[in-house]
C-alpha cells in the first residue's frame, strides 16, 4: 500500500516514515565554585595583651638586670645594656614567631622590656636604700659594704651616710633616682627595639 507523501507513520504497523531530530537536552553548567582566598593570620599587636611579647620582655629584663646593676660605675655600659635589652627582645620575638616586626612594633617591644627592667630595678634600689636606712648607717659601716664595683671616696660615703639618716632627703633621693632610671630604661630599650626591627627586617 502506497502511503501519502506527508504520512508520518505507517497506518498498519505504526513505523515512523522518517527520523525526527531529537530535542537536544540543554546541559546546565554547574555554578562556579567560590574562590577561597587564604590570607595569612595577622600577627597580634605588640602590647601587654600579647602574652608572648610580655613573657619575652620580662625574661630579657630579668637576664640583663644583674649586669645593669653591678656595672653602674663603668662609663656607658649601663646605657649600652639598656639599649641592647630592646634589641634582644625584638630578636627573640622574631625568632619565636618567624615574622619580622615593623619599626613601630619593635619600639613597643623595647618599651615593654624597659617597663619590666624599670620595675625590677626600682624594687631593688628601693629595698636596698630602705634597708640601709633602718640599720643606722655610719661612715665606717658603709665603707665595709664597698666592693670592687661600688668604690666611693670618703666624701661620697659621708654624704650617703647623712642622706640615709634623713627620711625626707632619702625619699627625695629615691624619687629622683627612680625618675632617672625610668627615663633610661624606657627610652633606650625603645630605640634598641626599633633598630632591631629595622635590622632584622633586612635579613
Average pLDDT over residues 15-40: 62
Classify the C-alpha dihedral 170-171-177-180 as positive or negative.
Answer: negative
Q: Which three cell numbers stand for residue 197?
A: 626591627
Query: Which of the two residues, 117 and 76, has the higher pLDDT score?
Result: 117
- The pLDDT-based confidence of 187 (bands split at 50, 70, 90) is very high
- DSSP line for 16-60: BSS---PPPPPPPPPPPPPP----PPPPPPSSTT-HHHHHHHHHH
Range with lowest mean pLDDT among 25-39, 106-120, 135-149: 135-149
Tens-digit pLDDT profile for residues 44-86:
888 899 999 999 999 999 998 888 877 766 778 888 999 999 9
Q: What is the mean pLDDT of residues 188-203?
A: 87
Name the more confident of 40 and 134.
134
Percent of the chain with pLDDT over 90: 31
Q: What's phi and psi for 9, nearest 5 deg?
A: -130, 160
Amino acid at each position: 500500500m502506497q502511503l501519502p507523501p506527508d504520512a508520518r507513520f505507517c497506518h498498519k504497523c505504526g513505523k515512523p516514515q522518517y527520523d525526527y531530530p531529537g530535542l537536544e537536552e540543554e546541559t546546565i553548567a554547574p555554578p562556579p565554585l567560590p574562590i577561597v582566598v587564604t590570607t595569612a593570620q595577622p600577627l597580634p599587636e605588640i602590647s601587654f595583651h600579647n602574652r608572648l611579647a610580655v613573657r619575652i620582655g620580662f625574661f630579657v629584663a630579668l637576664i640583663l638586670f644583674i649586669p645593669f646593676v653591678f656595672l653602674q660605675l663603668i662609663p656607658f655600659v649601663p646605657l649600652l645594656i639598656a639599649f641592647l635589652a630592646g634589641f634582644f627582645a625584638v630578636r627573640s620575638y622574631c625568632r619565636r614567631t618567624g615574622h619580622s616586626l615593623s619599626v613601630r612594633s619593635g619600639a613597643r617591644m623595647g618599651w615593654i622590656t624597659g617597663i619590666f627592667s624599670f620595675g625590677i630595678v626600682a624594687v631593688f634600689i628601693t629595698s636596698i636604700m630602705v634597708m640601709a636606712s633602718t640599720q643606722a648607717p655610719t661612715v665606717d659601716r658603709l665603707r665595709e659594704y664597698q666592693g670592687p664595683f661600688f668604690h666611693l671616696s670618703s666624701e661620697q660615703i659621708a654624704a650617703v651616710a647623712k642622706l640615709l639618716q634623713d627620711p625626707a632627703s632619702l625619699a627625695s633621693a629615691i624619687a629622683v633616682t627612680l625618675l632617672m632610671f625610668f627615663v633610661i630604661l624606657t627610652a633606650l630599650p625603645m630605640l634598641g627595639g626599633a633598630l632591631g626591627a629595622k635590622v632584622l627586617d633586612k635579613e
